[in-house]
Structure 1
Amino acid sequence: MRTCALIAIFYFISIINLTAAELDWIQVSQDGKSFVTAKEQTPFVPWGFNYDHDREGQLLEDYWNTDWKTIEQDFAEMKQLGANVVRIHIQFGKFMAAPDQPRAAALKKLGELLKLAEHTGLYLDLTGLGCYHKQDVPGWYDQLSDAERWQAQANFWSAVAKQCANSPAIFCYDLMNEPVVHGGKKKGTDWLGPGFAGKHFVQRITLSPDERPRPEIAAAWIKMLVDAIRKQDQRHLITVGLVPWSLERPGLQSGFVPDKISQHLDFICVHLYPEKGKVKEALETLKGFDVGKPLVIEETFPLKSSPQEFEEFLLKSKKHADGWIGFYWGQTREEYEKGKTIRDAIMAGWLKFFEENGRQFKEQH
């Protein structure tokens, strides 16, 4: 009995070590148009999930100290579904006790997550500076001036990059989820955009009016955070998650115009949800983000379209996109198939499509 147990332990350890050893670093290809592994220079196409909350709507930091087993199970499930990238969202307030004081415990937990990713054979799209739960935003953070807030954000990324610098499991650092440059002539009153499903996904990087063009401000902010990361980590890729209304078009604009802010980024990310009857329009928007660097659709889902239109969009998006990241919320396809709601049916269909079509997307280059 004891011998069998020891054999099982050694086998488990060997599998873990094998997976970790096979996880090569990811970089942009020499022609600057796609991703490749560093050692073998083989094509790498991001195909994965936003692991932004669990089945109860909790953020990762809400349960990673108390329910680590669930995270291990979820990573294994995402891997089994064919994912190679998992997008993780971490909040500023959970990682910074003061503008220049990182929380050691949170960084240590992030280190454990890196090890789990290495052992599972998954890469992380690490998205930072989150303020998704308004109750988790420190009061002192909201009181900072634009310049002080930028410096605090640079301190956040410096600490996170130092923690992650030596791990091949990082696919990229995403500076912020859906940033916006203040566009009014009067001082803004709220750093966060309107709430959606109990969370705040859009965040302003400025509140004070500024004479500079908004894309120039966005580029300066990106450069400051990239410089902070590069002092700790010269190797991992850097991007930022852009809303579709970042393009210079009539109406609402974020200020983060892709071709005007891309010089400091390794690749471009866009969050794009096709709408019913508007697949062609979504593809045209996607084309606007294709500015000569690799392009990843970092968020997408049949939120506003039928499953059939969504699948059409994904298949046709291969003309421009070099990676796709959907959603996984801690439930298996089988669990969703047993559900009775429309949401359950949509998620079951999405996971089925993801599992069955992963190969054709990952092997497109």
Structure 2
Amino acid sequence: MCARSLAVIVCLWFASYLQAAELEWIQVSADGKSFVTAESQQRFVPWGFNYDHDRKSRLLEDYWDKEWQEIEADFAEMKALGANVVRIHIQFGKFMSAPDQPRKEALKKLGDLLELAEQTGLYLDLTGLGCYHKQDVPAWYDALSDQGRWEAQTHFWSAVAKRCAGSPAIFCYDLMNEPVVHGGKKKGTDWLGPGFAGKHFVQRITLSPDERTRPEIAAAWIKTLAQAIREQDSNHLITVGMVPWSLERKGLQSGFVPEKVSAHLDFICVHLYPEKGKVDEAIETLKGFDIGKPLVIEETFPLKSSPEEFEQFMLESRKYAEGWIGFYWGQSLQEYQQGTTISDAIMARWLEFFKQNGPRFKETQ
């Protein structure tokens, strides 16, 4: 383990164990507009990181068996940067050996992760059904019909919810990262959307044409998975990660229209990356997801804008959002500051912004 990892763990060891005892369950406020802690009824503002891969671009299940100390160090560092939520992405193929057979060893490691979150004082946004590495998707899973795939997904979520039901460290279950409904009149051929940086983040929930509207199909899918979770866990919050083109506008649409699919969601999540010269457009898009339930920007980053424009977007987004989740990839702020590339500089500025502005974003508005 590197000196960075050891130093962070030592500095936070005592505080983390105290915080574990104080971790309260999170719920939606009585007025339905924000989040609060269940016992003290204090406002809770999600402020955290997508921990979707490490510095080597590996997914969590690729290294959590042999490099657990690095995960402990990363959690400690995210906590030190001011995070209260970590978004974890777990893969369907790593958790299911057959359509109705969860892998016991994967559920055990998930239990270890829950314990780590409790000890560190961090909540988990647990995003499931990942198929990010196409080579790891089971052939039998891709061969299933629409209905068969939904049934397999209910078994996944039932097993995960059963394992997590008793832990206060779960902030929410995110049913899937960026799902879309098949929109063609002919049967589709690929469950996954185009790749990006070696991973497939967009996933179709259907391939077959259907007489129902796309939002009706999306709402039915959400209801199906939410019911599977609720049979095991009646308390933790449920959401789904929506792409910005979920709104009913001209052009590309996902079928997950917020106001038409949200009956069984506790809050709304959108993934939104402001573009250069289009901060106002990003804010207008964000406004479209503000439908009367708490709204979290579950993914955001200065990917397509200047750091200055991104920070402008973040500040203006406070009019509508109740939470923000950016990115952390297993490297410290100091490492990025000492880096020599443009990407190092961008990441360093983002982490600096995150650390410095956490109190302002998390304070009661």
3-state SS, counterpart of residue 264 of structure 1:
coil
Q: Which residue of 2 aligns with 1:5?
A: none
Q: Are positions 1:96 and 2:96 aligned together?
A: yes
Q: Measure the CA separation in 2 of the matches of 1:245 and 1:364.
A: 30
Q: Are positions 1:361 and 2:364 aligned together?
A: no
Q: Measure the CA separation in 2 of the matches of 1:194 and 1:318.
A: 32
Q: Measure the CA separation in 1 of the matches of 2:139 and 2:58.
A: 22
Q: Measure the CA separation in 1 of the matches of 2:278 and 2:55.
A: 30
Q: Which runs of 5+ in 1 are unaligned?
A: 1-11
Q: Measure the CA separation in 2 of the matches of 1:299 and 1:18.
A: 30
Residues 212-361 of structure 1 correspond to what in structure 2 (within 5 A)?
212-361=212-361
How many corresponding residue pairs?
355
| Equivalent AA in structure 1 for residue 71 of structure 2 | I
> What is the CA distance between 1:20 and its match in structure 2?
1.3
CA pair 16-80 structure 1, distance change in 2 beyond 3 A: closer
CA pair 25-177 structure 1, distance change in 2 beyond 3 A: same
> What is the CA distance between 1:21 and its match in structure 2?
1.1
Q: Measure the CA separation in 1 of the matches of 2:24 and 2:222.
A: 27
* Cα-to-partner distance string for 1:185-221 (whole Å, 9 max, x where unaligned): 0000000000000000000000000010100000000
Q: Measure the CA separation in 1 of the matches of 2:340 and 2:171.
A: 36
Runs of 4 or more, structure 1, over 3 Å off, are 12-17
Instruction: Report the aligned-residue RMSD.
Output: 1.1
Contact 2:43 2:364 in 1 (8 A): no
Q: Measure the CA separation in 2 of the matches of 1:219 and 1:16.
A: 39
> What is the CA distance between 1:15 and its match in structure 2?
4.8
Q: Measure the CA separation in 2 of the matches of 1:31 and 1:22.
A: 25
Q: Measure the CA separation in 2 of the matches of 1:194 and 1:20.
A: 40
Residues 84-233 of structure 1 correspond to what in structure 2 (within 5 A)?
84-233=84-233
Q: Which residue of 2 aligns with 1:4?
A: none
When normalised by structure 1's length, the TM-score is 0.96
> What is the CA distance between 1:355 and its match in structure 2?
0.2
> What is the CA distance between 1:19 and its match in structure 2?
1.7
* Cα-to-partner distance string for 1:308-340 (whole Å, 9 max, x where unaligned): 000000000000000000000000111001101
* Cα-to-partner distance string for 1:52-89 (whole Å, 9 max, x where unaligned): 00000000110000100000000000000000000000
Q: Measure the CA separation in 2 of the matches of 1:134 and 1:231.
A: 30
* Cα-to-partner distance string for 1:216-263 (whole Å, 9 max, x where unaligned): 000000000000000000000000000000000000000000000111
When normalised by structure 2's length, the TM-score is 0.96
CA pair 283-98 structure 1, distance change in 2 beyond 3 A: same
Q: Measure the CA separation in 2 of the matches of 1:76 and 1:17.
A: 12
3-state SS, counterpart of residue 175 of structure 1:
strand
3-state SS, counterpart of residue 211 of structure 1:
coil
| Equivalent AA in structure 2 for residue 220 of structure 1 | A
3-state SS, counterpart of residue 266 of structure 2:
coil
| Equivalent AA in structure 1 for residue 113 of structure 2 | L
